[in-house]
Amino acid sequence: MDIFLEIRKRLQSALLIIREPKQGSLPMDVSLTPSVLKMKTLEQCREIKFPAEVRLVPSSLRGLQYISGDGIHMRLLVQADLNKKLVTALNQSLQAQKCYVFHCQTCGEIIVKERKLLRVLPLPSENWNALVEEWCCHPDPFANKPLHPGENDCFIGDTHLLVNVRSDSCIPGPEIAQAETHQLSESHLESKPKANTKIICKRCKAMLGETDSSGTTKFYITEIIIQPSGRDFDMIPRSQFVQSVIAQCLVELSSARSTFRFTVQGHDGKTYILVWLLNSDSLLIESLRNSESIQKFSLFEGMESLDSNNIGIRNAVKVLFHPCIKNRNIELSSSWENDIGVHSLVLPSQTCLELLLILLRSNHSLPPSLQYMNSFQIWFLNLDFVMVFGFDPCGTFG
């Protein structure tokens, strides 16, 4: 007897689903108080205590119904503590004049050692050059002048950051293989001779970014973790990390640019997923009786400990998505790509496939009635892992 509870914190409302019990377990007696749910059948009895921050309002219960394959549905009001604020990826600032270590997220390998960042600055939007042309009454002064970071600069984009790794003035010895060779034994990276050379982790072979002839290296934020020097590296499950980074990007971009539709594109230019952000204030609570249940519900995958009731709690963003691989949704994908109201998230192609696999697998763990909305599939992206990068709003170009 497990439950699924979706709370909309801004609306202070909730959908509670008592998962369909095993055959022969009906009838069931259900008792609900603000903090406790009791379920009793002829075979067993279970009591679930909700977190202290969440209090249900039983008198507001409405829409009680049984849905075959799902279980018992009910809607009600809830009092959820909103004092806890998430620190999102782009708001947790890197600070200028401090040293950081760049790690490969997949295996933990150190990619850049103790780099002291003199300036940490946000990059303008991807269409900034076109906007300059609209505002200038004279020839564009920035035409054909790409923004390259100087020595020990770090520029932060939507899904990547730019650093200049050609200089090794921070520490002796090479940090990243920049020579036109297949591999350098003293480097932590392999580099292949191309116009834009891929940066590949030497240990796990994950693609971390690209570097160009100017010495500018683009690292994708889904592939690295940046930590202050001296801090121990903590391994985060890959699927949870990718979900968290993408969820935080969606929240930041929807807030800053009032856009809610996104295309997830690979570095090869192909569109892999169409994503529509529904809301960013969901709080999910599920009862997980055993390790098999924890593995089934991938939102809680990687959790080392649950409370005494085996209750899993996660802040999440609710999204609709369409896969675009194998010629699926070609017309809709083309329409979105040409729509100025749709924002593109560019990631390594392998990471796009990882994200799609996470979405598809996780969608099937939801109650069947919550898996689709119109023709879109639904999933809740986890928001609770906090990354260490962003920009210092006090920084300036100059």
Establish if 42 belongs to a structural domain.
yes
The answer to whether residue 142 sits within a structural domain is no
CA 297 and chain centroid, separation: 17
Q: Domain for residue 392, yes or no?
A: no
Domain count, the chain: 2
Q: Which amino acid is at 258?
A: S
Which residue, of 87, 110, 129, is where some domain finishes? 87
* 105 within a domain of the structure (yes/no): no
In a domain, 33, yes or no: yes
Average the pLDDT over 295-315 and give the result. 58
- Owner of token pair 């697998």: 361
- Dump the DSSP string for 161-212: EEEE-S---SSSS-SS--SSSS--TTSSEEE--SSSEEEEETTT--EEEEE-
φ/ψ (deg, to 5) at 17: -120, 120
**How confident is the model over 350-385, as pLDDT tens digits?**
999 999 999 998 898 899 999 999 999 999 998 875
| Domain that residue 371 falls in | 238-289+296-382
Establish if 182 belongs to a structural domain.
Answer: no
Lowest mean pLDDT segment, chosen from 43-47, 72-76, 198-202, 246-250: 43-47
Residue pair 118/131 in contact by the 8 Å Cβ criterion? no
Please write the tens of the pLDDT for every residue from 119-160.
Answer: 888 888 766 666 666 677 777 666 666 778 888 888 988 899
SS (H, E, C) 5-33: EEEECCCCEEEEEEECCCCCCCCCEEEEC
Q: Is residue 255 part of a domain?
A: yes
Tell me what percent of the residues of the chain surpass a pLDDT of 70.
Answer: 74
Does the residue 20 lie in any domain? yes
Q: How far apart are CA 80 and CA 56, in angstroms?
A: 8
Sequential DSSP letters for 39-107: EE-SS-EEEEEPPTTEEEEEEEEEEEEEETTTEEEEEEEEEE--------TTTS---TTEEEEEEETTT
Q: CATH number, domain at 38?
A: 2.60.40
Is residue 170 predicted with pLDDT exceeding 90? no
Q: Which of 67, 87, 107 is the last residue of a domain?
A: 87
Structure tokens belonging to residue 80: 């959820």
